[in-house]
């Protein structure tokens, strides 16, 4: 069964409450209606004023003073994230009207990172017309991660791939495979590969094509999780896959937080929002 079909089945079974702080935006409203009508989620409204549980989520677990907490909660993104932290919703989905950094800021302060996670990161689930499903990371958050950052992204992406695809076959991409090249970016990818045990540095063709992998002597050529060396590379790659290969890009899905948070692309269509919400619930 395809990942999206599985996610839809999981979402229907869980009936999770999801808060959309950008309600009122036409695409969000249409997606919420579809999610409700198809039994995929229970969209919960953002309250006009913060609840005491939301205030407590910031002042208690997160250590924010009450006056600052109340000022933060005047902003919809923070109020929605605090709803998730307080247990008033199981997930937050935002991003069509707010930049990624604002969604991450609210989630980082109100929800926080999961234990053992050093940095938040993101991935897109890329669904290609022939049915191939591949995780691309990080395409939205970390601009120029160092070796430790790449290792953290790879490990978080492996957990996401296991949850959604059943197993993680991770490749840390570079312009070089093995020891054939040198330079600061290759060195960072090589160090991250050594830390994690994943394949890398490896060129994209070797990561995806068994014949080329055999020729270059690295990996099996069957990666389902591609970790890019920079935001430049990841963002360009996913948009090229969309425009030239007709791939559906679902996300960016944020990873590393204590509870599910999804950051949508500003250009997300209604069907993308519905799919991303289902994936967010399935990963919860």
Q: How confident is the model at residue 63 (pLDDT cuts 50, 70, 90)?
A: confident
Residue 267 confidence (pLDDT):
85
Distance CA 212, CA 186 (A): 19
Q: Do 132 and 245 belong together in one domain? A: yes
pLDDT tens sequence across 249-260? 888 889 989 999
| Per-residue confidence band for 93, with pLDDT thresholds at 50, 70 and 90 | very high
145 CB burial (10 A radius; 0-12, 13-18, 19+)? buried
Strand partners, 121: 255
CATH of the domain at 88: 3.40.50.10950
CA–CA dist 225, 134 (Å, integer) = 6
Residues 6+ positions from 86 with CB-CB distance below 8 Å: 51, 53, 54, 56, 57
Mean pLDDT of 222-240: 96
User: What domain range is 28 assigned to?
Assistant: 1-112+264-284
Of the candidates 93, 54, 44, 103, the one whose C-alpha atom is nearest the C-alpha of residue 74 is 54
Instruction: Give the pLDDT score at 252.
Output: 84
pLDDT at 143 over 70: yes
What residue ranges in 84-206 does DSSP mark as E strands? 91-94, 121-127, 133-137, 170-173, 199-202
Domain co-membership, 96 together with 142: no
User: Residue 16 — pLDDT band, cuts 50, 70, 90?
Assistant: very high
- Co-location of 126 and 242 in the same domain: yes
Residue 118's pLDDT is 85
- Report which of 91, 130, 128, 104 is spatially closest to residue 278, judged by C-alpha positions: 91
pLDDT band at 61 (very low <50, low <70, confident <90, very high): low
How many distinct structural domains can be found in the chain?
A: 2
| CA–CA separation, 130 and 87 (whole Å) | 39
For residues 65 and 94, membership in a common domain is answered with yes
Q: Minimal CA–CA distance to 46: which of 89, 16, 90?
A: 89
How much is the average pLDDT of 41-54?
93
> 33-42, pLDDT tens digit by residue?
999 999 999 9
pLDDT at residue 238 in the model:
95
Are 237 and 199 contained in the same domain?
yes
Residues 226 and 269 in one domain: no
């Amino acid at each position: 069964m395809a990942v999206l079909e599985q996610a839809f089945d999981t979402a229907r079974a869980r009936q999770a409450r999801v808060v959309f702080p950008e309600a009122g935006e036409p695409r969000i409203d249409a997606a919420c209606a579809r999610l409700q009508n198809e039994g995929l989620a229970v969209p919960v409204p953002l309250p006009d004023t913060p609840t005491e549980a939301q205030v407590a989520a910031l002042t208690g677990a997160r250590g924010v003073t009450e006056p600052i907490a109340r000022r933060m909660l005047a902003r919809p993104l923070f109020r929605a994230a605090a709803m998730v932290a307080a247990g008033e919703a199981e997930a937050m989905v935002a991003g069509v009207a707010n930049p990624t950094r604002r969604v991450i800021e609210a989630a980082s302060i109100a929800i926080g990172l999961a234990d053992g996670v050093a940095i938040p990161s993101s991935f897109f689930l890329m669904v290609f017309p022939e049915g191939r499903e591949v995780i691309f990371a990080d395409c939205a958050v970390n601009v120029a991660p160092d070796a430790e950052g790449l290792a953290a992204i790879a490990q978080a992406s492996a957990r996401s791939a296991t949850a959604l695809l059943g197993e993680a076959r991770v490749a840390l991409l570079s312009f070089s495979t093995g020891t054939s090249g040198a330079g600061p970016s290759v060195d960072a990818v090589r160090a991250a590969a050594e830390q994690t045990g994943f394949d890398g540095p490896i060129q994209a063709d070797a990561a995806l094509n068994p014949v080329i992998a055999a020729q270059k002597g690295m990996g099996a050529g069957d990666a389902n999780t591609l970790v890019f060396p920079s935001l430049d590379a990841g963002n360009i790659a996913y948009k090229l896959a969309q425009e030239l290969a007709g791939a559906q890009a679902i996300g960016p899905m944020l990873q590393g937080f204590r509870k599910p948070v999804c950051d949508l692309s500003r250009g997300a269509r209604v069907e993308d929002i519905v799919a991303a919400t289902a994936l967010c619930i399935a990963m919860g």
